[in-house]
Amino acid sequence: MRSSGGTLAALLACVFAIGSAEYAVLGVLPDIAGDLRVSVGTTGLLVTGYALTVAFAGPVVTALTTRIPRKALLIGMIAVFAAGNVLAALAGSFGLVLIARVLAALVHSTFFAVGLVQAVSVVGAERRGWAIAVVSAGLNLATVLGAPLGTFIGHELGWRATFWAVAGASAVAAGLIVVAVPRSSAVGPQSVRAEIGALADREVLVVVAVTVLAQIALFTPYTYIATILTEVSGFATGAVAWLLMAFGIGGLVGNAIGGRLADRWPWGSVRGLLAGMAVVLGVFALVVQYAGAAAVGVLVLGAVSCALIPALQSRAFAAAAAAPTLTVAVNTSAFNLGNAGGAWIGGRVLDGGAAPHWLIGIGIFAAVAAWAVTAARRSAGVEGRTDVAVV
């Protein structure tokens, strides 16, 4: 029986599979390097190539598939994703593994966009943030459960088993889409012209800019969080995995709260969470040398940063409600651009000889800059269009 709950659960399962593939590969890079006789640095291209493909190819794929019925597109994309992981599991060379990762990444952004639009269509605009939070929880579960499990499988059974596991999870998720997602939707296929035209809206540009800055604020320190926690906080290397799990648990809680806040105070929640991120990073910078306080800081940072995901995606959806799919895909790409940008900035800072805790300061600056963009939007007199509280 199809229901909004079944649809959201099926979409969450797909996002979990996709997120697990994105994160679990981090734990088996050394295994891939050893087996395929390449350097660990070279295997890092599996992460960079994936992220860049999501960021730049995602909106193009979304535009090209605008006319395809939504349910058929969701099934087709998760099938392509599964095929990419099967190819990676069978690959006999590093180059073929990289091609397989790029193939899987091609559908990442579009699936998220179409999935979120489908989720909102079955619950209504008044519960938009909540629906986005439910589907986005798949990413948090991937961090807490999928990535550690995928890494464990890879270490015990070989790195190829990790890709087989992801392919299997994707196949199960595809079956759930077939059973649970309705064929028709309140949000039908849009014209390419309407979707592209929505990107020129000032509100859309504001959301994308805030998303990039917010992710730079998080990923400048988070990409190198293991270095910060071991060299500054004094944790043993073995404790880092547990601390990252704490980040994911905080993210699950924050994601749920962020969805509710996004429905009640649309832009107000974004501003409040950005201010909260700046404060949390500021306190984290002050206490990071104390192990206990640093552990709590990681948990809280996970909560506030993940609360921003449904809040920002909800604003992207609202900014182009008549033709939202491409806008949400572009904003999904903006998340990945921010991730890559934060990692690049942090790397340059560390290579320049700065101490690891300086990365937290850069994160504070980026969070304040993102908040300033939202404040400028409010002072420009456009608050009333999409920042109406839902009571």
pLDDT for the residue 322: 67
Q: How much is the pLDDT for 168?
A: 95
What is the token pair recorded at 280? 């949390």
Residues of the chain with CATH 1.20.1250.20: 4-180, 192-386
- Residue-level pLDDT at 387: 46
CATH 1.20.1250.20 for the 192-386 domain, yes or no? yes
Any idea what the Cα angle at residue 274 is, between residues 272 and 280, rounded to 5°? 100
Which residue from 113, 114, 134 is spatially nearest to 123, judged by alpha carbons?
134
**Would the pTM of this model clear 0.75, i.e. be above it?**
yes
Half-sphere exposure of 302 toward its Cβ, with a 13 Å CA cutoff? 24
Q: Which residues contact 80 (CB under 8 A, 6 or more apart)?
A: 103, 104, 106, 107
Q: Decide: 150 and 165 in contact? Cβ < 8 Å.
A: yes
For the record, the structure tokens of 322 come out as: 């008549």
pLDDT at residue 354, as a whole number:
85
Those residues with Cβ within 8 angstroms of residue 344's Cβ, 6 or more apart along the chain or in another chain: none
Residues 29 and 44: beta-carbon distance below 8 Å: yes
The total of other beta-carbon atoms located within 10 Å of residue 159's CB is 27
Dihedral sign for Cα atoms in the order 120, 301, 347, 93: negative
pLDDT in tens, the chain (391 residues): 456 788 899 999 999 999 888 777 877 877 888 899 888 667 878 877 888 888 888 888 988 888 888 889 999 999 999 999 999 999 999 999 999 999 999 999 899 888 888 888 888 777 888 888 888 888 888 878 887 788 788 888 999 999 999 999 999 999 999 998 887 544 444 566 666 766 667 888 899 999 999 999 998 888 788 788 888 999 987 787 788 888 889 988 998 898 888 888 888 999 999 999 999 999 999 999 999 999 999 999 999 999 998 899 888 888 776 677 788 888 888 888 888 888 888 888 887 888 888 999 999 999 999 999 998 876 655 554 444 433 2
Burial pattern 291-313, b for ≥16 Cβ within 10 A else e, equals: beebbebbbbbbbbbbbbbbbbb
Give me the half-sphere count of Cα atoms (radius 13 Å) on the Cβ side of residue 260: 4
Which CATH code for domain 4-180? 1.20.1250.20
Check if the beta carbon of residue 386 is closer than 8 Å to that of residue 203: yes
> Could you tell me how many helices (H) and strands (E) the chain has, helices first?
18, 0
Q: Measured between alpha carbons, how far is 183 from 180 in angstroms, rounded to an integer?
A: 9
Length of the chain: 391
C-alpha distances in angstroms, 131 versus 111, 124, 260, 322, 371?
A: 15, 9, 9, 18, 25
